[in-house]
Amino acid sequence: CCIQKTTKIHDDGMGIMKEISVKALAKINLGLDVVRRREDGYHEVKMVMQMLRLYDQIDIEKTQESGIFVRSNLSFLPTDERNIAYKAAKVMIDQFGLEQGVIIRIEKHIPVAAGMAGGSTDAAAALYGMNQMFDLGLNMEQLKERGVKIGADVPYCLMRGTALAEGIGEKLTALPPMPKCPVLVAKPSVAVSTKFVYENLHLENDPPHPDIDRLLEDIRKKDLQSTAQDMGNILETVTVAHYPEIASLKEIMKEHGALNALMSGSGPTVFGLFEDEKTAKRAYRAVKESGLAKQLYLTTIYNNRK
């Protein structure tokens, strides 16, 4: 869910930027706990967010014609005001009275509706790209203020790296970079509704909560083994019960050398952390042979801070 610093920029030869390319990176949840349900219906969470080197490519181009025109390599992705990147561009156009329009090309690689903030990262990329291309002068905090109105994950997608997210996900604390390691990402063919998962999470039944504080300590110590072992996601108590494929994918990864495997967000994507690439590749083949994954990627941890 996040923006890589490096961008590809084209100008008109006179220093005026005409087009920008941004890599919008995916996120996983190393830890996800739900603290309580608020009176307004939102849930307060405590999550550890981490970026991966898996990304959507977002290209934004100025056009003399006013309006926002979204193009995508996925035919089912909405290209009108329902698209979250469209919403982000519209926020900037409306607030700054921009007369030129934009063409936004979204090349999707991050699984859709998968618990990896694929939409939020595209919105963050659009905010970042519009700010750069039109020289609007917003700093990161000002971008985050606009981002949270579009989606709770958007501020983190702007921030990048390893972070603790609290509140509804908008209160962010930067963490030391997690140790880099191979990550196997598998999305089964099932579709999971985030709304359904949260509505069926009954905190009054006292489901097992992950120890987020211990996970934070593991990350601060740069202890990959302990970080993996202490990962946890309270939403698995709902999603796994309804979608056994998730549990099966976790088991296959662990049987083939994953330090641990976990569902990201509200699912259904499962990721596994590995100590070395050789083991991760072996697990990749095993998951592929199982036929349980509709989308399968072998990638790595991404950190923007050294």
- What's the CA gap between 266 and 74, in Å, rounded? 22
Give residue 169's identity as a one-letter amino acid code: G
- What's the CA gap between 304 and 51, in Å, rounded? 9
What single-letter DSSP state applies at residue 203?
G
Q: Angle at the Cα of 164 (from 50 to 141), degrees rounded to 5? A: 95
Q: Is beta strand 101-107 parallel, antiparallel or unpaired with respect to 260-263?
A: unpaired
To the query of whether residue 27 is one of the catalytic residues in this protein, the response is yes
Residue 92 contacts by C-beta under 8 Å, 6 or more apart in sequence?
98, 126, 127, 130, 131, 134, 136, 146
- What's the CA gap between 10 and 39, in Å, rounded? 48
Q: What is the token pair recorded at 43?
A: 């849930």
| 3-state percent helix, strand, coil for the chain, nearest multiple of 5 | 35, 35, 35
To the query of whether residue 230 is one of the catalytic residues in this protein, the response is no
Q: How many CA atoms lie within 13 A of 263 on its CB side?
A: 27
Distances (CA, A) of 38 to 42, 164, 167, 237, 260: 5, 20, 10, 20, 32
Q: What is the token pair recorded at 23?
A: 């890599």
Of 27, 144, 187, 250, which residue is the catalytic one?
27
The three-class DSSP label of residue 84 is helix
Of 33, 122, 153, 230, which residue is the catalytic one?
153
Peptide bond into 268 cis (omega under 30): yes
- What's the CA gap between 235 and 208, in Å, rounded? 10
Radius of gyration of the chain measured on its C-alpha atoms: 19
Contact in structure between 38 and 61 (CB atoms under 8 Å): no
Which residues form the catalytic set? 27, 153
